[in-house]
Structure 1
Amino acid sequence: MTSTVLQGNFGPVASELTVTELPVTGHIPEQLDGRYLRNGPNPVLPPNPRTYNWFLGSGMVHGVRIRGGRAEWYRNRFVRDGFVASALGEQRPAGPRHAGTDFSANTNVLGHAGRTLALVEGGSLPYELTEELDTVGACDFGGTLRGGYTAHPKIDPRTGELHAVSYYWAAGSTVQYTVVGLDGRVRRTVDIPVGGSPMMHDFSLTENYVVLYDLPVTFDFELAAKAAPKLLRKPVEFLLSQFIGRRPVPGRIAERVNRKGGGALPYAWNPDHPARVGVLPRNGSVADLHWFEVEACYVFHALNAYEQGEELVLDVVRHPQMFATDRLTPNEGGTTLDRWTIDLSAGKLREDRFSEVHQEFPRVDERLLGSRHRYGYTIGSDGGVPGLELNSLCKHDLLTGDTRVHSFGKGHGAGEFVFVPTGAEEDAGVLMGMVYDASEDRSDLVLLDAQTLDTAARIHLPTRVPYGFHGNWMPS
């Protein structure tokens, strides 16, 4: 049986291309000057079709350079860790490793402090890329990062600093909050006790607080032990159970496990792990951390968060569970767009539902990250049918409760769309993302007017872009 994430447009592309002067239908706003980049899994060698997990494919970054109303180039490049470099007959790029980890970052790509960074989570380091998407090497922010990193850091629009909450299976019962300054070096590190070993894919940031989502997807000892020889699996499982989520795994053991790898994602739904949301003052210590219970669920992505008097307002895409029945894909039923409101003075959390539409990949105008927002954008399913393939863009008005939908049509599949401002108003700008056309087996970079949701331009790419994860607009 072939994994669903190796079929159709989930399947990898083999060639790295450079194509200049791309054809365009419509009009690209003249003020756009920069690069749209998007990262995603793209196995460099054929994986086992029965066991392949979408989260474990080699990273490939796709990019389009836009300037003066033109699409100057399209490039796609593998992120070269040691495995990818070896498969391509090249030397591994120079750079540090964290505890023996060396993984082709496949989840996100953003720009900060003059660097273009491909990102992944779980203990690996970011990989720095050139302007043309060639791999420079792993990045530990000039030796200042103590540990691995996350796939979902957030740039504070007020300060330009890069905030992150990172998890790592061998870190014991802690996750790590870090702040990278404008000089590209870590200036603040806080180890936060969580209990257990949860997968924290995302977090939220407000003007004064860091918000953590400690939810019941945790490290699975049994699944991890399957990487060991059959006779050693039970002893390895017992050994891991004595450390994971309790105290740090000894460095030599962790490094040996990281270098060997297991070919599986060792995280699963754990109904015994409490579901809760943590609130940490940005300049406080763990003594100031407070937890609030929430109904069991999983959150891959938060739309935004902000403060409202003594309350914190959190908008999140909620999954009913994750990696409970399907260990290979994030596909456990319909999602919803929910609003969680934390009353800091009363110590309570209230859960409300904004939209029942099956949707994911929420984005907001990044100028308002951590501040009150009105609009949010997600990728949804026309028929509301749960699944991985999504074919419409939803514009949510969180003030009026209205949702407008732009459908890309039958036979089309959309990835995450990002908001790029072109004016001062919150929705004055374009929404930009990849759309796959099955009839042509090719992808376009589509630009929508964020106010009307009309199509402004379609930049026709020379190949298809497999469904992937996250990207960003990087202005020149």
Structure 2
Amino acid sequence: MTDGQDNGTNPYLSGLFAPVREEVTAHGLDVTGRIPDSLNGRYLRNGPNPLGVDDPAVHHWFSGAGMVHGVRLRDGRAEWYRNRWVRSDAVAEKLGEKPFNGPHHQNMDFAANTHILRFAGRHLATVEGGTLPYELDEELNTLGPYDFQGTLPGGFAAHTVLDPASGELHAVAYCWAYPYVQYLVAGVDGRIKRRIDIPVEGGPMMHDFSLTERYVLLYDLPVGFSMEAATSGSTFPYAWDDRKQARIGVLPREGQAQDVLWLDIDPCFVFHPMNAYETDGGQRIVVDLVRYEKLFSKGPGGAQGPGDHPPRLERWTVDLAAGSVRTETLDDRPIEFPRVDPRRATGQHRFGYGVLEPRDGYAGQRHAVREGGYQQVGVGLIKYDLASGGAEIHRFHPDGDVGEGVFVPASPDAAEDDGWVLTYAFDPERQATDLVVLAAGDFTAEPVARIHLPVRVPVGFHGNWIPDEV
């Protein structure tokens, strides 16, 4: 299980987090159950997989070079599994390959490790903080850094929202060197068509944002660039700042920087919203999201990974007329990686999905509480019915791990929970990972299919189902 570097001083280099050492290609994967015939495409997921670590004691989970893990499904068969490092110049050199020497922003280059999506016919591995995405081909080979055909004004973002109505891609990018964040819109031609620079202070880490039919929501929260962290040797130069006022910004999609309505909120941090939508004719905005009371407060760079406090699912209601934000807890169990049916993005959703994490002491050997920290490991997937308030849990092996659940509709016009939820789950009995296919409408039942991969997929970040283009 620990076939990568295993160093007891850093939990993010050990056990289920340990990086794998080899790139693997396997064909004709074994399957338990039956793969739905409608699943024709590739399930891809990105995550950190460091290629050598100089000092494990200061290595931060977020700083590992990206590796994309993919499974190709077609006509009820699992045709292949591949894992490939994203070839930044540094990674290419370590692998003995010729660097791309492509365009870079602020002379920064990083093997994008956070997400992967397809847009305008290109597969983009993404990351935040001022660097460019990397383009991959259909077999996960790196094609080089991508600047949206020369139209990207700086770095890009880890998270994006594809507007189902227009097909345009929206993002909010930040860079430690800039006194602003950038709202960016890419047209269906793959070129940046809109850029708004929004002044902010303290170099905030804006990992994600929310989008509704008419508004962009900006999370300006007390995690920002830290010179102390940057000069301490940490590989992640961001930290909690007790002095910073937490606030949420509401920007009209067609507005300018001066049109942002800033509303103060209680201190917290948000990695991932589930979705946002408007009510009352656009006078209120409802956003479901995962909230942390505090994050990255344990020393420079937030120690070695996220987690001062467990996260919980909340609903924030922004009243534009009153200039207020009301918060309520939807679930106090620790969850992360919230997702919805992508067709519901920017509009009202009923169902949502997340990774259920263990409370302190649950599945003891996997849930390491180190110096009061909270190490994220999944024990199950949870499906929320936000109309009824109910929730269903699909649990996995107590000594394993499960990643982000991605909803795939059964057909373009299928009902909101008529489809499949795909995820990588580590099976300790095999000491390897499965791609698990769950029926969204029968969530607690046995998986419809388990595609057995020949290797372990380390705990990672985000992915997407990339359907075949027809």
Same fold (TM over 0.5): yes
How far does the alpha carbon of each residue in 1:189-224 deviate from its partner, in whole angstroms, 9 at most, with x for none? 000112221000000000000000000001111121
How far does the alpha carbon of each residue in 1:301-349 deviate from its partner, in whole angstroms, 9 at most, with x for none? 0000000011000111001111002421111122110000001111111
Distance apart, 1:225 and its partner CA:
2.6
The alignment partner of 1:406 has SS state of strand
Look up the match of 1:219: 225
Q: d(CA) in 1 for partners of 2:429 and 2:108?
A: 40
Could you list the runs of 5+ residues in structure 2 that have no partner in the other structure?
Answer: 1-7, 363-373
How far does the alpha carbon of each residue in 1:235-267 deviate from its partner, in whole angstroms, 9 at most, with x for none? xxxxxxxxxxxxxxxxxxxxxxxxxxxx52110
**Matched-pair contact (CA < 8 Å) for 2:265–2:325:** yes
The alignment partner of 2:56 has SS state of coil
Q: d(CA) in 1 for partners of 2:28 and 2:459?
A: 24
Look up the match of 2:185: 179
The alignment partner of 2:93 has SS state of helix
Distance apart, 1:94 and its partner CA:
4.4
- Give 1:105's match in structure 2, choosing from 84, 88, 112: 112
Look up the match of 2:97: 90
**Match runs of 1:23-422 below 5 Å:** 23-171=30-178, 173-226=179-232, 264-309=235-280, 310-325=283-298, 326-381=302-357, 383=359, 387-422=375-410
Q: d(CA) in 1 for partners of 2:100 and 2:39?
A: 32
Q: d(CA) in 2 for partners of 1:93 and 1:80?
A: 8
Q: d(CA) in 1 for partners of 2:169 and 2:378?
A: 30
Distance apart, 1:382 and its partner CA:
5.0
Look up the match of 1:7: 14
**Matched-pair contact (CA < 8 Å) for 2:274–2:290:** yes
Q: d(CA) in 1 for partners of 2:358 and 2:147?
A: 42
How far does the alpha carbon of each residue in 1:112-140 deviate from its partner, in whole angstroms, 9 at most, with x for none? 00000001110000000011000000000
Aligned pair 1:469/2:458, yes or no? no
How far does the alpha carbon of each residue in 1:119-163 deviate from its partner, in whole angstroms, 9 at most, with x for none? 111000000001100000000001100010100011111111110
**Matched-pair contact (CA < 8 Å) for 1:93–1:135:** no
Q: TM-score, normalised by structure 2?
A: 0.92
Distance apart, 1:82 and its partner CA:
1.0
**Matched-pair contact (CA < 8 Å) for 1:411–1:439:** no
Look up the match of 1:237: none
How far does the alpha carbon of each residue in 1:425-465 deviate from its partner, in whole angstroms, 9 at most, with x for none? 00001000100122322000001001111211100001000
Q: d(CA) in 2 for partners of 1:141 and 1:197?
A: 24
**Matched-pair contact (CA < 8 Å) for 2:358–2:377:** no
Distance apart, 1:412 and its partner CA:
1.5
**Matched-pair contact (CA < 8 Å) for 1:161–1:179:** yes
Could you list the runs of 5+ residues in structure 1 that have no partner in the other structure?
Answer: 228-262
Distance apart, 1:178 and its partner CA:
0.4
Q: d(CA) in 2 for partners of 1:135 and 1:118?
A: 9
Q: d(CA) in 2 for partners of 1:47 and 1:55?
A: 15
Distance apart, 1:181 and its partner CA:
0.6
The number of residue pairs the alignment matches comes to 440
**Matched-pair contact (CA < 8 Å) for 2:180–2:197:** yes
Amino acid corresponding to residue 25 of structure 2 in structure 1: T
Q: d(CA) in 2 for partners of 1:327 and 1:185?
A: 38
Q: d(CA) in 2 for partners of 1:399 and 1:154?
A: 23
Structure 1 residues 101, 426: CA separation in 2 closer, same or farther (over 3 Å shift)?
Answer: same
RMSD: 1.2
Q: d(CA) in 2 for partners of 1:14 and 1:412?
A: 20
Amino acid corresponding to residue 86 of structure 2 in structure 1: V
The alignment partner of 1:451 has SS state of helix
Distance apart, 1:27 and its partner CA:
1.1
- Give 2:437's match in structure 1, choosing from 421, 438, 447: 447
The alignment partner of 1:300 has SS state of coil
Look up the match of 1:231: none
**Matched-pair contact (CA < 8 Å) for 2:337–2:354:** yes
Look up the match of 1:254: none
- Name which of structure 1's ranges 354-363 and 287-296 shifts more when overlaid on structure 2: 287-296
Amino acid corresponding to residue 474 of structure 1 in structure 2: I
Distance apart, 1:44 and its partner CA:
1.1
Q: TM-score, normalised by structure 1?
A: 0.91
Look up the match of 2:367: none
Amino acid corresponding to residue 40 of structure 2 in structure 1: D
Q: d(CA) in 1 for partners of 2:292 and 2:235?
A: 21
Amino acid corresponding to residue 439 of structure 1 in structure 2: E
Distance apart, 1:383 and its partner CA:
4.8
Q: d(CA) in 2 for partners of 1:137 and 1:181?
A: 21
Structure 1 residues 327, 382: CA separation in 2 closer, same or farther (over 3 Å shift)?
Answer: closer
Q: d(CA) in 2 for partners of 1:155 and 1:273?
A: 31
Amino acid corresponding to residue 143 of structure 2 in structure 1: V
**Matched-pair contact (CA < 8 Å) for 2:53–2:59:** no
